[in-house]
Amino acid sequence: MSAKIDRAIYEIGHLDTLAAGDSLLHRLDPRAKLLTTAIFVVCVVSFDKYEIARLLPFFLFPAVVIGLADLPLGFLLRKLLLVSPFVLFIGIFNPWLDRSIVAQIGPLAISGGWVSFLSLLLRFTLTIGAALLLIATTGFAAICMAMERLGTPRVFTVQLLLLYRYLFILIEEVVRMIRAHSLRSFSAKGRITYRVFLQMLGNLLLRTIDRAQRIHMAMLSRAFTGEIRIVRQFRFGYKECLFLGGFGGLFLCLRLTDLTALLGRLVLEITG
């Protein structure tokens, strides 16, 4: 079990490792990438629940980002699969709740529930994928800094950053406790009983409080004032304007016009 948790810690922290790259997208100001991702997410989620075809052109954005930033596609797909059960649990009931027929393909009748379920999966893939790409090309600390510079209250951004950073420390404490239990367990598989689980949970709470106090004292001793500082320096220049204006305009164009229908009519005119 501890090996699986160690693997999970590595994969979570690997996003910050990817953010330390030196591609063109990595060097862009975090504010430009954050605003572009926000426009992308708003445009994607604003579609009707039965929309499928008009969502497909939006996959151009993650494809371009992955190519320019040289990100590992397999790793990102594993991250999407890790959280996919949540959206599957939410949308799996759609075919039973919405049985109205919206399409007919030969003898096969397709209900609105299946269409809305597929649309939900596409929007989930696009939005969560965009968030992962943002972290993988920017880093969570730079994202919090960008949020603060864009007007988000400092208390919120600092709490969000500390929550993200302290998550790794909390998981490491859990790993040490599970490993210590497995080494001292006399059972064959080292299973954690309900009583032992409650004791470990209480011990974890005490360790968490003690570690939080030590972290707080360490931050005060290093003159932490609440301002988020990162090593890499950024500046909002013409490249950021081109990135934000180009992709933002593309997203709005895809949202306001049916590009797939236009391309379909164009192909029919050419082939006809």
Q: Is 144 inside a domain boundary?
A: no
Q: Is 148 inside a domain boundary?
A: no
Same domain, 63 and 168: no
Question: Using CB atoms within 10 A of its CB, is residue 212 exposed (0-12), middle (13-18) or buried (19+)?
Answer: middle
57-106 residue pLDDT tens:
999 999 999 998 888 888 888 888 877 888 888 878 887 877 777 676 76
CA distance 105 to 31: 46
Beta bridge partners of 109: 104
Tell me what pLDDT residue 104 has.
Answer: 67
> Does residue 161 contact residue 60 with C-beta atoms inside 8 Å?
no
The count of domains in the chain is 2
pTM over 0.85: no
11-55 residue pLDDT tens:
666 777 888 888 888 889 899 999 999 999 999 999 888 888 889
Q: Residue 120 is part of which domain span? A: 1-138+235-265
Same domain, 12 and 111: yes
Tell me what pLDDT residue 187 has.
Answer: 60
Same domain, 249 and 215: no
Same domain, 11 and 52: yes
Q: Is 270 inside a domain boundary?
A: no
Same domain, 25 and 126: yes
Q: Is 146 inside a domain boundary?
A: no
Confidence of residue 174 (pLDDT cuts 50, 70, 90): confident
Tell me what pLDDT residue 245 has.
Answer: 93
pLDDT greater than 70 at residue 2: no
Helix, coil or strand: residue 226: coil
Same domain, 2 and 95: yes
Q: Is 272 inside a domain boundary?
A: no
Residues 123-150 have a mean pLDDT of: 89
Tell how many helices (H) and how many strands (E) occur in the chain: 11, 2
